[in-house]
Amino acid sequence: MTVRSNGDGGPLGCHDCGHDYAYIGVDPHPGYCPACGSRAVSPAGAVRLHRHDLEAAAPPGGEVHVTATDESGRDFRYGFRLLDRHHATLVSVRVAGRPVRRPPQGWSTDLLPPVVREVLDENGLSSTGAAESLD
Ligand SMILES: [Zn+2]
């Protein structure tokens, strides 16, 4: 299964059931999976940065979070573990307050909306995905 981030008409993916689908329309898609009804699907429409705690400069091993909101009103919270002062690994994703099951191959940074990448960049961090194996 592939899960993709989206905001501009590309394919959408459901984190819960793995359903990949397309949405054709002028408005942002409604933010529900048509197969299982889950809200843990790709962001809808423009994604705005909501908040982050990157300035907290947690020590290596610590976790920081970036939250962004899409046009369907869902919060996407991305958790990063700091490897050192300049590198962070994506370790958790929550959509609308609910943790999303981690894919067996680990999280891909392809999931990150551009606004999240930008704020990491502004804070001198680059993100890597799937740096560790599960369990
Ligand atoms: Zn689904």
Mean pLDDT of the chain: 85
| Per-chain residues with Cβ under 5 A from ion ligand 1 | 14, 16-17, 19, 33, 35-36, 38
Which pLDDT belongs to residue 28? 86
Alpha carbon 72 to chain centroid distance? Answer: 15
Q: How far is the CA of 43 from the centre of ligand 1 (A)?
A: 14
3-state secondary structure of 53: coil
Q: How far is the CA of 117 from the centre of ligand 1 (A)?
A: 26
- Distance, in Å, from the CA atom of 7 to the CA atom of 4, rounded to the nearest integer, reads 10
Q: How far is the CA of 109 from the centre of ligand 1 (A)?
A: 21
The ranges assigned to domains in the chain are: 12-128
Count of other CB atoms within 10 angstroms of residue 2: 10
Q: How far is the CA of 101 from the centre of ligand 1 (A)?
A: 12
Give tens-digit pLDDT for 38-72: 999 999 999 999 999 998 767 788 899 999 999 99
Give tens-digit pLDDT for 86-106: 999 999 999 999 999 888 888
> What global pTM score does this model have?
0.81
Token pair belonging to 6: 């989206």
Q: How far is the CA of 128 from the centre of ligand 1 (A)?
A: 26
- Distance, in Å, from the CA atom of 81 to the CA atom of 89, rounded to the nearest integer, reads 5
Q: With pLDDT > 90 as the criterion, what percentage of the chain qualifies?
A: 52
